[in-house]
Structure 1
Amino acid sequence: MLRLLRTYGLAMVLLTFVAFPLYWMTLTSLKPQTEVFRVPPTFLPATWTLEHYVNLFWLTDFGLLFWNSLKVCLLSTALSLAVGILGAYALARFNVRGKEAYGRLVLLAYMFPGALLVIPLLLLFRELGLTNSHLGLSLAYLTFSLPFVMWVMRDFFASVPVDLEEAAMIDGATRLGALWDVVLPQAVPGIIATGIFAFLFAWNEYLYALILISDESLRTLPPGMMRFVSTTDTNWGLIMAASTLATLPMALAFGLIQRYLVTGMGAGGVKG
């Protein structure tokens, strides 16, 4: 009984530590501006208001920023999964020279900070005419989402029995047909897990979105929200409202597919 109490007590402490910033962000967005800086602070608003959310949509282009981020992240995630699944399957199934070394190099590319790649990408995209476009930004996000997808999905595919694919090919299926009809249905938890993390990487990314996009109408949320901060005034209620709405989609996604995330990440760590 004492051990159970310690376990639940530690879990509650960790939950409070992690959840309190989210709680404070949400409550601040529901306070009037005069109450945001009240000393001592109020842990529940004395006056509840939605003025910051109304101002967010009427006085700023938050809706456009949100849509731009959603479009870029969906495109980036789709490209990462399409290319990463094929690459991971090749690494897991084909016996080619240097396969293990290449797999480690893929993970090594994921370890480089994005700041080292942004200038070469900017010069390359300028030559290709991909700067200041959502397609170019989505392709830039592949530099850190694609290695992650390939590394996780490789171990996941390796845990799927080869006999199932061989049986499908004996019945007349092609290699791609066996991948589509046999392997991918069993890999759904892993695909969902890696897809969510690839989407999250792109959703929170700031540096590439700031440098590769200069047109204000094409800005995404992270650099776009920085316009709410100025040298003379910072509307914290507006920033907290924007942050709450930007966090809400991912929080809902994690809550709805939590079991797929646990299954997918756990299975991705098992080698066949």
Structure 2
Amino acid sequence: MSVEDAQPSQSGRSIEDVLQAAREIPHTDYIVGRGTRKPDGGIHIVEYHVSRGLGERFVKAYPEYEAFDSAAQQFLCAPFLSITIEVGVTCYVDDTSKQSAKMNDYLRLFDVDSLLLVGLESSMGLCWMTLYRRLQPKEPFTAEQAELASYRVRAALFEWQLRTKSPIERPPPPERYKLLPLGRRCLDVAVRRMRGIPRKRIATELGMTEDGVDAQTRRLKELKLSNQKLMEQFFGELPPPRPLPPNDPEAQS
């Protein structure tokens, strides 16, 4: 997420509505942002609002770690999915690669123990809220809290977009919002396949067997949903996959 030209949010009422929507989900800090897709696969932030506990230092330190932010990449792949992370336990985005350690380092600088990201993409661009828990290592966000955020917070974020009404150059295609004929597990596999994650690593990340990954892949083929079709009709441009170290055995999977 690029923050070079971003400005702190001045959308007072809209931000208050977003914060109100998140109040039932216990958290210590937050950042709310809106922006657009960058040609290189990142997110260009045009406006944001950050809690006092994290402050501007949190935002300004981010560009150094942007290349390792696989949560942002996953958000770009599937903006309608909520993402929960327990820092240093499941690693970043349930990712055991050495690359994920960089984002863990960044979050640890600010004593972040877990986070919950929820957002959306509309004809007015990308919009998201990330909730953080700092100095609370035994209290990760739950699936139920992620579900609550996916409805209440996302609706408030969309209202923020409506009030700012900032046009973007390339709105997402209408096909993006057709209902996908996929279950959650099948979609989890599809998103990771499109990101170029090897089969063995997908199984590890999702707690599945490799045969289970193959079964979901066959399901995609039966529905004639190739990676190319999913990218063209539903997800749009994908961020480039994060490279694995050359000596990482998973790179050969």
The structure with the greater share of residues assigned to helix is 1
- Greater RCO, 1 or 2 (C-alpha within 8 Å, sep 6+): 1
Whose Rg is larger?
A: 1
Q: Which category of TM-score, normalised to the shorter sequence, fits these structures? A: under 0.3
The structure with the greater share of residues assigned to strand is 2
Q: What is the TM-score normalised by the length of structure 1?
A: 0.20
Q: What is the TM-score normalised by the length of structure 2?
A: 0.21
